[in-house]
A and B are shown apart, each in its own frame.
Chain A
Amino acid sequence: MPSNSESTCYFIQLQIDGYLDSDLSEAQQGVFMSHVQDCSACASEFRYAQTVQDAVMEMPQIECEDLVLEPVHSSMKSGRQGQEDVSKGSLLTQIAVLLNTVPLYFRYGLSTALIAVVAVAISFSVVTPIEESGQLVASEPVEQYSPEDIALALQELNVAIDYLNQVSLRTEVMIGNRFLVTPLQDSINASFQRARSRQNDPLQNGPI
């Protein structure tokens, strides 16, 4: 547990940077300076911080000689990247740059018109093949059936339909018995049973 003076020193030392940056109020500065004058440890710490700060601030700006920038100049002369980047950019980039310069309503209007044009083009391309395919179907050789073949096919179809009807009837009965009829009967019987027992037991028939 730090003593009172230690915690005061701790807080004073936290304020050193604030004091060096003149961020402290006048009152805070007064408290800070009076403590630093009385406390040799804080005075030493303050002196150290000030020395470091002064030394940092005294560090000179480094001169950038022309020699350092020679590669930059030669790159500029040979490459001309700044302007060429835009001109060499893809078509999409150029369109994007162009669009960025026009008003917002024009941008949205243009994009809507483009979408409409694309939609119309797609609808044409979808409709046209159907007509063409119709022509194709018509031009294809159609297989010819005799009336006997058709009658035989109809008979087979009727047999199949009869079979399916029987199967569905059986299924319906099974399902109806199991899931509809039997539970319904059980429920009705139970209701009758309850009604009967209520009539026999007078306590069940209260005033309420």
Chain B
Amino acid sequence: MRALYLEAIDQHRHRILSFAHYSLRVREDAEDVTQEVFIKLWKHWQKIDHEKLGAWLMRVAHNSVIDHVRRQRPQQENLDHYAEVEEQVGEESDGTHLDRHRFKSQLQSAIRSLEDPFRSIVIMRDIQGLSYEEIQGSLELSASQVKVYLHRARRKLREDRKLRQLFEEQIADRSGAKQPIALVASADKGNGHAQ
């Protein structure tokens, strides 16, 4: 049993930590979630359907993340403040690499800001590459719900103002144009329609 348990840990540890990392803002919280998940696995080892172990672990991780998000919500405002300060410091430098880095860090922040299950579905599908069946099993949703939520989650991500702004800046830098390109699906949709 012990050997099987250790094997299961080795097989799923990176996936669980990644899921928690992209869901939560603090690295220590993600590690706490990972530990909680594997301690629960040990406790419930006898009762688990081992053919669906991956889905069970992701479900436990998902629930644990939700608990952490609820617990951490009052502290998040402070963390957001620190993130903004970091961003301001970062903005003083320039360069394509830095732009890409800023874009990615803003994207991570946007993902973490998504409500559940949108956040979990984006992480599981687009970052971790889980199949729709695995996501269904983990989140106890139907196949159609997973697809609908995934598309909605991606749209919500694209609606992030800072993310769009960074993208427009990158495009403007590349093309040499000073005016950002007007987009149809932005908040002021239709104003800058090209046709």
- Interface, chain A (partner B; CB < 8 A): 2, 5-6, 9-10, 13, 17-18, 39-42, 44-45, 47-49, 51-53, 55-59, 61-64, 68-69, 71-72, 75-76, 79, 81-83, 85-86
CB within 8 Å of A: which B145-193 residues: 150-151, 154-155, 157-158, 163-164, 167, 171, 181-185, 190, 192-193
Known: A56-B122, A76-B2. A62 touches B14 (CB 8 A): yes
CB within 8 Å of A: which B102-142 residues: 103-104, 107-108, 111, 122, 126-129
Taking a contact as CB atoms closer than 8 A, the residue among B17, B167, B190, B192 that contacts A51 in the complex is B167
Q: Is the CB of A55 within 8 A of B104?
A: yes
Taking a contact as CB atoms closer than 8 A, the residue among B34, B128, B154, B155 that contacts A61 in the complex is B128
Q: Is the CB of A83 within 8 A of B1?
A: yes
Q: Is the CB of A76 within 8 A of B183?
A: no
The verdict on B56 contacting chain A, using a C-beta distance below 8 Å, is no
CA distance A75 to B43 in the complex (A): 10
**9 additional contacts (CB under 8 A) given A48-B164, A63-B14:** A10-B184, A39-B195, A52-B163, A53-B126, A62-B14, A62-B30, A79-B42, A81-B43, A86-B46
Interface residues on B, range: 35 or more
Q: Which residues of B contact A53 (CB under 8 A)?
A: 126, 154
CA distance A39 to B151 in the complex (A): 22
Q: Is the CB of B15 within 8 A of A61?
A: yes
Known: A72-B9, A83-B1. A52 touches B157 (CB 8 A): yes
Taking a contact as CB atoms closer than 8 A, the residue among B38, B44, B126, B181 that contacts A56 in the complex is B126
CA distance A52 to B166 in the complex (A): 11
- Interface, chain B (partner A; CB < 8 A): 1-2, 5, 9, 13-18, 21-22, 30-31, 34-35, 38-39, 42-46, 103-104, 107-108, 111, 122, 126-129, 150-151, 154-155, 157-158, 163-164, 167, 171, 181-185, 190, 192-195
Known: A68-B34, A69-B38. A59 touches B1 (CB 8 A): no
Q: Is the CB of B193 within 8 A of A44?
A: no
Q: Which residues of A contact B5 (CB under 8 A)?
A: 76, 82
Q: Is the CB of A62 within 8 A of B17?
A: yes
CA distance A86 to B103 in the complex (A): 51
The contact sample of 9 A-B pairs, CB cut-off 8 A, is A17-B150, A41-B183, A41-B195, A52-B157, A55-B103, A56-B126, A72-B9, A82-B1, A82-B46
Q: Is the CB of B158 within 8 A of A49?
A: yes
